[in-house]
Structure 1
Amino acid sequence: MTEEIIRQIKLLIDSGHLPPGCKLPGEREFARLLGVSRPSLREALRALSLLGIVEHRHGSGTYLNPPGNRWPSEPVAMLLSVHKGAMIDIFEARKGLETMVAGLAARRRSDEDLDAMRAALDGMRRNLGDFESYARHERDFHQAVIEAAGNQVIIEIMVKLYQLLQEVRARVYRGYPRDATILEMDFRNHECIYRSIEAGDEHAAAEAMTSHLQEFERLLLASEDAPVLHGKAGGPKG
Protein backbone atom coordinates (compact mmCIF):
# COMPACT_ATOMS: atom_id res chain seq x y z
CA MET A 1 0.00 0.00 0.00
CA THR A 2 2.82 2.43 0.86
CA GLU A 3 4.45 1.86 -2.52
CA GLU A 4 1.16 2.41 -4.37
CA ILE A 5 0.49 5.69 -2.55
CA ILE A 6 4.01 6.92 -3.32
CA ARG A 7 3.46 5.99 -6.96
CA GLN A 8 0.27 8.09 -7.01
CA ILE A 9 1.99 11.06 -5.40
CA LYS A 10 4.83 10.84 -7.92
CA LEU A 11 2.30 10.93 -10.77
CA LEU A 12 0.76 14.09 -9.30
CA ILE A 13 4.21 15.67 -9.09
CA ASP A 14 5.23 14.61 -12.61
CA SER A 15 1.96 15.94 -14.04
CA GLY A 16 2.44 19.33 -12.41
CA HIS A 17 -0.53 19.02 -10.07
CA LEU A 18 1.91 19.24 -7.14
CA PRO A 19 4.58 21.81 -8.07
CA PRO A 20 7.88 22.05 -6.14
CA GLY A 21 7.54 23.99 -2.91
CA CYS A 22 3.77 23.62 -2.74
CA LYS A 23 1.87 22.79 0.41
CA LEU A 24 0.26 19.36 0.17
CA PRO A 25 -3.48 19.06 0.77
CA GLY A 26 -4.58 18.38 4.34
CA GLU A 27 -4.49 14.76 5.46
CA ARG A 28 -8.24 14.16 5.20
CA GLU A 29 -8.53 15.81 1.78
CA PHE A 30 -5.36 14.17 0.42
CA ALA A 31 -6.45 10.71 1.58
CA ARG A 32 -9.84 11.22 -0.09
CA LEU A 33 -8.16 12.43 -3.29
CA LEU A 34 -5.93 9.34 -3.43
CA GLY A 35 -8.67 6.96 -2.33
CA VAL A 36 -6.67 5.63 0.63
CA SER A 37 -6.95 5.59 4.41
CA ARG A 38 -5.38 8.34 6.47
CA PRO A 39 -3.04 5.95 8.37
CA SER A 40 -1.78 4.55 5.04
CA LEU A 41 -1.19 8.07 3.73
CA ARG A 42 0.78 8.92 6.87
CA GLU A 43 3.06 5.91 6.33
CA ALA A 44 3.79 6.99 2.75
CA LEU A 45 4.50 10.58 3.76
CA ARG A 46 6.88 9.37 6.47
CA ALA A 47 8.84 7.44 3.85
CA LEU A 48 8.97 10.51 1.59
CA SER A 49 10.07 12.64 4.53
CA LEU A 50 12.95 10.27 5.31
CA LEU A 51 14.15 10.73 1.73
CA GLY A 52 13.81 14.50 1.87
CA ILE A 53 11.09 14.58 -0.81
CA VAL A 54 8.60 16.27 1.51
CA GLU A 55 9.00 18.28 4.69
CA HIS A 56 6.58 18.53 7.60
CA ARG A 57 6.54 21.98 9.19
CA HIS A 58 5.05 21.99 12.66
CA GLY A 59 1.87 24.01 12.82
CA SER A 60 1.91 24.68 9.08
CA GLY A 61 1.58 21.43 7.15
CA THR A 62 3.54 19.23 4.76
CA TYR A 63 5.39 20.74 1.79
CA LEU A 64 6.96 19.32 -1.35
CA ASN A 65 10.65 20.19 -1.31
CA PRO A 66 12.21 21.88 -4.36
CA PRO A 67 14.03 19.57 -6.81
CA GLY A 68 17.33 18.32 -5.48
CA ASN A 69 16.55 14.98 -3.93
CA ARG A 70 16.41 12.70 -6.93
CA TRP A 71 13.56 10.23 -7.25
CA PRO A 72 14.63 6.74 -8.33
CA SER A 73 12.78 5.56 -11.42
CA GLU A 74 10.46 3.28 -9.42
CA PRO A 75 8.86 3.88 -6.00
CA VAL A 76 9.94 0.40 -4.91
CA ALA A 77 13.54 1.29 -5.69
CA MET A 78 13.07 4.54 -3.80
CA LEU A 79 11.97 2.71 -0.68
CA LEU A 80 14.82 0.25 -0.96
CA SER A 81 17.28 3.11 -1.24
CA VAL A 82 16.47 3.82 2.41
CA HIS A 83 16.98 0.22 3.46
CA LYS A 84 19.55 -1.32 1.15
CA GLY A 85 22.83 -2.38 2.69
CA ALA A 86 22.30 -0.70 6.04
CA MET A 87 19.12 -2.56 7.03
CA ILE A 88 20.81 -5.40 8.88
CA ASP A 89 23.00 -2.89 10.71
CA ILE A 90 19.89 -0.90 11.63
CA PHE A 91 18.15 -4.02 12.92
CA GLU A 92 21.20 -4.97 14.98
CA ALA A 93 21.19 -1.49 16.50
CA ARG A 94 17.52 -1.87 17.32
CA LYS A 95 18.12 -5.28 18.89
CA GLY A 96 20.87 -3.97 21.14
CA LEU A 97 18.93 -0.90 22.21
CA GLU A 98 15.57 -2.57 22.71
CA THR A 99 17.06 -5.32 24.85
CA MET A 100 18.39 -2.61 27.16
CA VAL A 101 15.04 -0.79 26.93
CA ALA A 102 13.17 -3.87 28.18
CA GLY A 103 15.35 -3.99 31.29
CA LEU A 104 14.83 -0.28 31.95
CA ALA A 105 11.09 -0.69 31.45
CA ALA A 106 11.00 -3.46 34.07
CA ARG A 107 12.70 -1.11 36.52
CA ARG A 108 10.73 2.06 35.77
CA ARG A 109 7.32 1.06 34.39
CA SER A 110 4.25 2.75 35.81
CA ASP A 111 0.71 1.42 36.05
CA GLU A 112 -0.15 3.54 33.00
CA ASP A 113 2.70 1.93 31.05
CA LEU A 114 1.44 -1.54 31.96
CA ASP A 115 -2.08 -0.53 30.91
CA ALA A 116 -0.76 0.54 27.49
CA MET A 117 1.11 -2.75 27.05
CA ARG A 118 -1.96 -4.77 28.04
CA ALA A 119 -4.13 -2.80 25.61
CA ALA A 120 -1.67 -3.54 22.80
CA LEU A 121 -1.57 -7.23 23.76
CA ASP A 122 -5.37 -7.34 23.73
CA GLY A 123 -5.34 -5.88 20.22
CA MET A 124 -2.77 -8.45 19.11
CA ARG A 125 -4.86 -11.28 20.60
CA ARG A 126 -8.00 -10.08 18.80
CA ASN A 127 -6.19 -9.94 15.45
CA LEU A 128 -4.28 -13.22 15.33
CA GLY A 129 -5.95 -13.90 11.99
CA ASP A 130 -5.27 -10.45 10.52
CA PHE A 131 -1.56 -9.94 9.92
CA GLU A 132 -1.69 -6.22 9.09
CA SER A 133 -3.83 -5.33 12.12
CA TYR A 134 -1.70 -7.57 14.33
CA ALA A 135 1.44 -5.73 13.19
CA ARG A 136 -0.06 -2.35 14.13
CA HIS A 137 -0.86 -3.50 17.66
CA GLU A 138 2.54 -5.18 17.94
CA ARG A 139 4.17 -1.86 17.11
CA ASP A 140 2.03 -0.20 19.81
CA PHE A 141 3.32 -2.76 22.32
CA HIS A 142 6.95 -1.99 21.55
CA GLN A 143 6.22 1.74 21.68
CA ALA A 144 4.72 1.30 25.16
CA VAL A 145 7.82 -0.61 26.31
CA ILE A 146 10.09 2.10 24.91
CA GLU A 147 8.14 4.85 26.67
CA ALA A 148 8.17 2.87 29.93
CA ALA A 149 11.98 2.97 29.86
CA GLY A 150 11.70 6.69 30.59
CA ASN A 151 14.76 7.78 28.61
CA GLN A 152 14.00 10.56 26.13
CA VAL A 153 17.21 10.07 24.14
CA ILE A 154 16.45 6.38 23.63
CA ILE A 155 12.86 7.21 22.67
CA GLU A 156 14.04 9.59 19.94
CA ILE A 157 16.57 7.08 18.60
CA MET A 158 14.06 4.22 18.60
CA VAL A 159 11.45 6.30 16.77
CA LYS A 160 13.96 6.85 13.96
CA LEU A 161 14.96 3.19 13.87
CA TYR A 162 11.32 2.11 13.70
CA GLN A 163 10.69 4.50 10.83
CA LEU A 164 13.59 3.00 8.89
CA LEU A 165 12.53 -0.57 9.66
CA GLN A 166 8.83 0.00 9.09
CA GLU A 167 8.53 -1.11 5.46
CA VAL A 168 10.74 -4.17 5.94
CA ARG A 169 8.77 -5.19 9.05
CA ALA A 170 5.57 -4.95 7.00
CA ARG A 171 7.10 -7.12 4.28
CA VAL A 172 8.14 -9.77 6.78
CA TYR A 173 4.60 -9.91 8.18
CA ARG A 174 3.14 -10.06 4.67
CA GLY A 175 5.56 -12.88 3.88
CA TYR A 176 4.41 -15.05 6.77
CA PRO A 177 2.54 -18.18 5.72
CA ARG A 178 -1.13 -17.52 6.33
CA ASP A 179 -1.04 -19.68 9.41
CA ALA A 180 -2.22 -18.11 12.66
CA THR A 181 0.04 -20.45 14.66
CA ILE A 182 3.02 -18.28 13.68
CA LEU A 183 1.40 -15.20 15.15
CA GLU A 184 0.30 -17.20 18.17
CA MET A 185 3.95 -18.04 18.85
CA ASP A 186 4.90 -14.39 18.36
CA PHE A 187 2.09 -13.35 20.70
CA ARG A 188 3.35 -15.70 23.42
CA ASN A 189 6.79 -14.11 23.11
CA HIS A 190 5.25 -10.69 23.73
CA GLU A 191 3.29 -12.02 26.70
CA CYS A 192 6.57 -13.26 28.16
CA ILE A 193 8.11 -9.80 27.74
CA TYR A 194 5.09 -8.23 29.42
CA ARG A 195 5.08 -10.62 32.39
CA SER A 196 8.78 -9.96 33.03
CA ILE A 197 8.28 -6.18 32.89
CA GLU A 198 5.19 -6.41 35.11
CA ALA A 199 7.20 -8.43 37.65
CA GLY A 200 9.99 -5.86 37.61
CA ASP A 201 12.54 -8.50 36.58
CA GLU A 202 15.11 -6.59 34.52
CA HIS A 203 17.18 -9.62 33.52
CA ALA A 204 14.17 -11.71 32.48
CA ALA A 205 12.71 -8.79 30.50
CA ALA A 206 15.97 -8.30 28.60
CA GLU A 207 16.23 -12.04 27.92
CA ALA A 208 12.63 -12.24 26.70
CA MET A 209 13.14 -9.26 24.38
CA THR A 210 16.35 -10.76 23.01
CA SER A 211 14.60 -14.07 22.30
CA HIS A 212 11.74 -12.31 20.50
CA LEU A 213 14.04 -10.15 18.37
CA GLN A 214 16.23 -13.10 17.44
CA GLU A 215 13.15 -14.93 16.16
CA PHE A 216 12.07 -11.87 14.17
CA GLU A 217 15.58 -11.57 12.75
CA ARG A 218 15.40 -15.19 11.62
CA LEU A 219 12.16 -14.43 9.77
CA LEU A 220 13.69 -11.25 8.36
CA LEU A 221 16.66 -13.10 6.91
CA ALA A 222 14.41 -15.83 5.51
CA SER A 223 12.05 -13.36 3.84
CA GLU A 224 11.98 -12.69 0.11
CA ASP A 225 13.92 -9.47 0.69
CA ALA A 226 16.96 -11.31 2.09
CA PRO A 227 19.19 -10.64 -0.97
CA VAL A 228 18.48 -6.91 -0.64
CA LEU A 229 18.94 -6.92 3.11
CA HIS A 230 22.25 -8.68 2.71
CA GLY A 231 23.30 -6.32 -0.04
CA LYS A 232 26.70 -5.37 1.34
CA ALA A 233 30.00 -5.47 -0.41
CA GLY A 234 30.46 -9.14 0.32
CA GLY A 235 27.18 -10.11 -1.30
CA PRO A 236 24.49 -12.39 0.10
CA LYS A 237 25.39 -14.71 2.90
CA GLY A 238 24.97 -18.39 2.33
Structure 2
Amino acid sequence: MAIPLPQSSGTRREGPGVELTRRLLEYLLSGEVRPGQRIPSERQLAEALSAGRSTVREAIKSLSLLGLLEQRVGDGTYLSRSSSDLLPQVIEWGLLLGEKRLDDLLEARYYLEVQLTGWAAERRTEEQLEELRAIAEKMRSASDDFEAYVEADIAFHRQLAEMSGNTTLASVLSSVRSLLRAWASRVIRTAGETETSLAMHEPILQAVERGDAEAARAAMTAHMDRATRRLQASMPDEEDETDKSA
Protein backbone atom coordinates (compact mmCIF):
# COMPACT_ATOMS: atom_id res chain seq x y z
CA MET A 1 0.00 0.00 0.00
CA ALA A 2 1.37 3.39 -0.98
CA ILE A 3 2.33 5.79 1.79
CA PRO A 4 0.47 9.11 1.29
CA LEU A 5 3.47 11.41 1.36
CA PRO A 6 3.40 14.90 -0.23
CA GLN A 7 4.77 15.14 -3.76
CA SER A 8 7.67 17.42 -4.58
CA SER A 9 6.64 20.61 -6.34
CA GLY A 10 9.83 20.58 -8.39
CA THR A 11 10.08 24.37 -8.16
CA ARG A 12 12.43 24.86 -5.20
CA ARG A 13 16.14 25.23 -5.88
CA GLU A 14 17.37 23.05 -3.04
CA GLY A 15 19.64 20.08 -2.58
CA PRO A 16 18.02 16.64 -2.38
CA GLY A 17 18.53 16.44 1.39
CA VAL A 18 16.78 19.75 2.04
CA GLU A 19 13.89 18.92 -0.28
CA LEU A 20 13.44 15.49 1.29
CA THR A 21 13.50 16.92 4.82
CA ARG A 22 10.88 19.48 3.80
CA ARG A 23 8.61 16.81 2.32
CA LEU A 24 9.04 14.53 5.32
CA LEU A 25 8.21 17.40 7.68
CA GLU A 26 5.09 18.26 5.66
CA TYR A 27 4.03 14.63 5.90
CA LEU A 28 4.55 14.46 9.66
CA LEU A 29 2.47 17.58 10.20
CA SER A 30 -0.27 16.61 7.75
CA GLY A 31 -2.19 14.44 10.20
CA GLU A 32 -1.35 11.18 8.44
CA VAL A 33 0.66 10.16 11.51
CA ARG A 34 -0.68 10.82 15.00
CA PRO A 35 1.55 12.04 17.85
CA GLY A 36 3.10 9.03 19.56
CA GLN A 37 2.60 6.80 16.51
CA ARG A 38 5.43 5.00 14.72
CA ILE A 39 6.20 6.42 11.28
CA PRO A 40 6.88 4.23 8.22
CA SER A 41 10.27 2.53 8.16
CA GLU A 42 13.34 4.05 6.57
CA ARG A 43 13.05 1.61 3.68
CA GLN A 44 9.38 2.42 3.09
CA LEU A 45 10.01 6.16 3.19
CA ALA A 46 12.89 5.82 0.73
CA GLU A 47 10.68 3.88 -1.69
CA ALA A 48 7.71 6.24 -1.34
CA LEU A 49 9.88 9.32 -1.80
CA SER A 50 12.11 7.82 -4.51
CA ALA A 51 15.13 8.76 -2.41
CA GLY A 52 18.23 7.02 -1.14
CA ARG A 53 18.08 5.53 2.33
CA SER A 54 21.11 7.56 3.45
CA THR A 55 19.28 10.78 2.54
CA VAL A 56 16.17 9.62 4.40
CA ARG A 57 18.35 8.70 7.38
CA GLU A 58 19.87 12.20 7.54
CA ALA A 59 16.42 13.81 7.35
CA ILE A 60 15.17 11.62 10.20
CA LYS A 61 18.23 12.46 12.31
CA SER A 62 17.74 16.20 11.77
CA LEU A 63 14.06 16.04 12.75
CA SER A 64 14.94 13.86 15.74
CA LEU A 65 17.46 16.44 16.93
CA LEU A 66 14.78 19.11 16.72
CA GLY A 67 12.50 16.96 18.86
CA LEU A 68 9.88 16.20 16.21
CA LEU A 69 10.81 12.52 16.01
CA GLU A 70 11.98 10.01 18.60
CA GLN A 71 14.26 7.20 17.45
CA ARG A 72 13.98 4.02 19.52
CA VAL A 73 16.69 1.44 18.93
CA GLY A 74 15.12 -1.77 17.66
CA ASP A 75 11.62 -0.29 17.63
CA GLY A 76 11.56 2.26 14.82
CA THR A 77 10.93 6.02 14.84
CA TYR A 78 7.94 7.76 16.43
CA LEU A 79 6.31 11.15 16.00
CA SER A 80 6.91 13.13 19.18
CA ARG A 81 3.87 13.78 21.35
CA SER A 82 5.01 17.40 21.63
CA SER A 83 5.54 18.01 17.91
CA SER A 84 2.76 20.60 17.64
CA ASP A 85 4.41 22.65 20.39
CA LEU A 86 7.74 22.55 18.57
CA LEU A 87 6.44 23.52 15.12
CA PRO A 88 6.76 27.33 15.55
CA GLN A 89 10.37 26.98 16.69
CA VAL A 90 11.21 24.60 13.86
CA ILE A 91 9.86 27.06 11.32
CA GLU A 92 11.65 29.97 13.00
CA TRP A 93 14.93 28.05 13.03
CA GLY A 94 14.75 27.91 9.28
CA LEU A 95 14.61 24.20 8.54
CA LEU A 96 11.88 24.94 5.99
CA LEU A 97 14.07 27.59 4.39
CA GLY A 98 17.03 25.40 3.62
CA GLU A 99 18.97 23.97 6.58
CA LYS A 100 20.86 21.02 5.21
CA ARG A 101 21.66 18.35 7.72
CA LEU A 102 22.46 17.34 11.26
CA ASP A 103 26.15 18.26 11.06
CA ASP A 104 25.28 21.78 9.92
CA LEU A 105 22.97 22.26 12.90
CA LEU A 106 25.65 21.08 15.31
CA GLU A 107 28.32 23.27 13.74
CA ALA A 108 26.12 26.38 13.80
CA ARG A 109 25.37 26.05 17.48
CA TYR A 110 28.99 25.22 18.31
CA TYR A 111 30.48 28.43 16.93
CA LEU A 112 27.62 30.62 18.06
CA GLU A 113 27.92 29.46 21.67
CA VAL A 114 31.70 29.91 21.76
CA GLN A 115 31.65 33.44 20.34
CA LEU A 116 28.80 34.67 22.51
CA THR A 117 30.45 33.28 25.65
CA GLY A 118 33.64 35.21 24.94
CA TRP A 119 31.70 38.41 24.53
CA ALA A 120 29.72 37.67 27.69
CA ALA A 121 32.97 37.58 29.68
CA GLU A 122 34.04 40.93 28.23
CA ARG A 123 30.73 42.78 28.41
CA ARG A 124 28.74 41.38 31.34
CA THR A 125 27.32 43.63 34.01
CA GLU A 126 27.33 42.72 37.68
CA GLU A 127 23.56 42.32 37.61
CA GLN A 128 23.77 39.89 34.69
CA LEU A 129 26.55 38.00 36.43
CA GLU A 130 24.42 37.57 39.54
CA GLU A 131 21.64 36.11 37.39
CA LEU A 132 24.08 33.66 35.79
CA ARG A 133 25.27 32.59 39.25
CA ALA A 134 21.67 32.05 40.35
CA ILE A 135 21.00 29.87 37.31
CA ALA A 136 24.16 27.85 37.97
CA GLU A 137 22.95 27.26 41.52
CA LYS A 138 19.65 25.94 40.13
CA MET A 139 21.64 23.51 38.00
CA ARG A 140 23.51 22.28 41.08
CA SER A 141 20.27 21.88 43.03
CA ALA A 142 18.57 19.93 40.24
CA SER A 143 21.13 17.13 40.05
CA ASP A 144 18.44 14.47 40.59
CA ASP A 145 15.73 16.13 38.50
CA PHE A 146 16.50 15.81 34.79
CA GLU A 147 13.66 18.07 33.63
CA ALA A 148 14.59 20.86 36.05
CA TYR A 149 18.25 20.49 35.13
CA VAL A 150 17.55 20.78 31.40
CA GLU A 151 15.48 23.92 31.99
CA ALA A 152 18.31 25.47 34.02
CA ASP A 153 20.88 24.38 31.42
CA ILE A 154 18.95 26.13 28.66
CA ALA A 155 18.56 29.23 30.85
CA PHE A 156 22.33 29.27 31.46
CA HIS A 157 23.11 29.38 27.75
CA ARG A 158 20.35 31.90 27.11
CA GLN A 159 21.75 34.17 29.82
CA LEU A 160 25.23 34.00 28.31
CA ALA A 161 23.76 35.08 24.97
CA GLU A 162 22.06 38.05 26.60
CA MET A 163 25.25 38.99 28.42
CA SER A 164 27.13 39.08 25.10
CA GLY A 165 25.43 42.36 24.23
CA ASN A 166 24.93 41.27 20.63
CA THR A 167 21.17 41.34 20.20
CA THR A 168 21.28 39.99 16.65
CA LEU A 169 23.18 36.81 17.51
CA ALA A 170 21.27 36.46 20.78
CA SER A 171 18.10 36.49 18.69
CA VAL A 172 19.52 33.78 16.43
CA LEU A 173 20.26 31.64 19.47
CA SER A 174 16.74 32.25 20.73
CA SER A 175 15.44 31.00 17.39
CA VAL A 176 17.09 27.63 17.93
CA ARG A 177 15.64 27.16 21.41
CA SER A 178 13.81 24.04 20.31
CA LEU A 179 17.15 22.66 19.16
CA LEU A 180 18.73 23.52 22.51
CA ARG A 181 15.96 21.76 24.40
CA ALA A 182 16.17 18.60 22.30
CA TRP A 183 19.98 18.70 22.49
CA ALA A 184 20.21 19.10 26.26
CA SER A 185 17.46 16.62 27.02
CA ARG A 186 18.89 13.92 24.75
CA VAL A 187 22.44 14.25 26.07
CA ILE A 188 21.45 14.36 29.75
CA ARG A 189 18.97 11.50 29.53
CA THR A 190 21.39 9.33 27.57
CA ALA A 191 24.13 9.98 30.13
CA GLY A 192 21.77 9.16 33.00
CA GLU A 193 23.42 11.76 35.26
CA THR A 194 24.02 15.52 35.45
CA GLU A 195 27.38 15.68 37.22
CA THR A 196 29.45 15.54 34.03
CA SER A 197 27.43 18.28 32.37
CA LEU A 198 27.59 20.46 35.48
CA ALA A 199 31.36 20.02 35.67
CA MET A 200 31.63 21.40 32.12
CA HIS A 201 29.62 24.51 33.03
CA GLU A 202 31.59 25.47 36.14
CA PRO A 203 34.75 26.61 34.25
CA ILE A 204 32.55 28.68 31.94
CA LEU A 205 30.99 30.47 34.90
CA GLN A 206 34.36 31.02 36.57
CA ALA A 207 35.92 32.47 33.42
CA VAL A 208 32.98 34.83 32.87
CA GLU A 209 33.19 35.91 36.52
CA ARG A 210 36.87 36.80 36.01
CA GLY A 211 36.12 38.61 32.77
CA ASP A 212 38.55 36.29 30.96
CA ALA A 213 37.18 36.03 27.41
CA GLU A 214 39.88 33.64 26.18
CA ALA A 215 39.31 31.21 29.04
CA ALA A 216 35.54 31.51 28.62
CA ARG A 217 35.76 30.59 24.94
CA ALA A 218 38.10 27.71 25.73
CA ALA A 219 35.75 26.38 28.41
CA MET A 220 32.74 26.62 26.10
CA THR A 221 34.71 24.95 23.30
CA ALA A 222 35.47 22.02 25.60
CA HIS A 223 31.81 21.84 26.60
CA MET A 224 30.61 21.92 22.98
CA ASP A 225 33.17 19.28 21.94
CA ARG A 226 31.99 16.88 24.62
CA ALA A 227 28.28 17.63 24.16
CA THR A 228 28.54 17.11 20.41
CA ARG A 229 30.23 13.73 20.84
CA ARG A 230 27.66 12.64 23.39
CA LEU A 231 24.77 13.74 21.20
CA GLN A 232 26.14 11.94 18.16
CA ALA A 233 26.69 8.82 20.27
CA SER A 234 23.06 8.96 21.40
CA MET A 235 21.76 8.81 17.82
CA PRO A 236 20.98 5.23 16.69
CA ASP A 237 23.52 3.82 14.25
CA GLU A 238 22.47 2.61 10.84
CA GLU A 239 22.87 -1.03 11.82
CA ASP A 240 20.75 -0.50 14.94
CA GLU A 241 17.74 0.68 12.94
CA THR A 242 15.14 -2.03 12.53
CA ASP A 243 12.77 -1.78 9.58
CA LYS A 244 9.14 -2.23 10.56
CA SER A 245 6.32 -3.03 8.18
CA ALA A 246 3.52 -0.49 8.04
Long gaps (5+) in structure 1: 1-5, 13-42, 56-79, 228-238
Give matches, 1:28-107, under 5 Å. Answer: 44-50=83-89, 86-107=101-122
Distance 1:81 1:156, change over 3 A: closer
TM-score (norm 2): 0.57
Counterpart CA distance in 1 for 2:215 and 2:199 is 15
- The aligned amino acid for 2:87 is L
4+ runs deviating over 4 angstroms:
43-46
Distance 1:185 1:46, change over 3 A: same
How far has the Cα of 1:103 moved from its partner? 0.8
How far has the Cα of 1:139 moved from its partner? 0.6
User: What is residue 28 of structure 1 aligned with on the other side?
Assistant: none
How far has the Cα of 1:49 moved from its partner? 1.8
User: What is residue 204 of structure 2 aligned with on the other side?
Assistant: 193
User: What is residue 217 of structure 1 aligned with on the other side?
Assistant: 228
- The aligned amino acid for 2:174 is V
Residue 170 of structure 2 corresponds to residue 131 of structure 1 = no
Counterpart CA distance in 2 for 1:165 and 1:143 is 10
Paired residues of 1:91 and 1:165 also in contact (CA < 8 A):
no
- The aligned amino acid for 2:229 is R
How big is the alpha-carbon RMSD for the aligned residues of Structure 1 and Structure 2? Answer: 3.2
Aligned residues: 161
Residue 223 of structure 2 corresponds to residue 208 of structure 1 = no
Give matches, 1:136-175, under 5 Å. Answer: 136-175=151-190
Paired residues of 2:122 and 2:213 also in contact (CA < 8 A):
yes
Percent of paired sites with the same residue? 32
User: What is residue 76 of structure 1 aligned with on the other side?
Assistant: none
Long gaps (5+) in structure 2: 1-28, 36-81, 239-246
Paired residues of 1:175 and 1:224 also in contact (CA < 8 A):
no
TM-score (norm 1): 0.59
SS at match of 2:165: coil
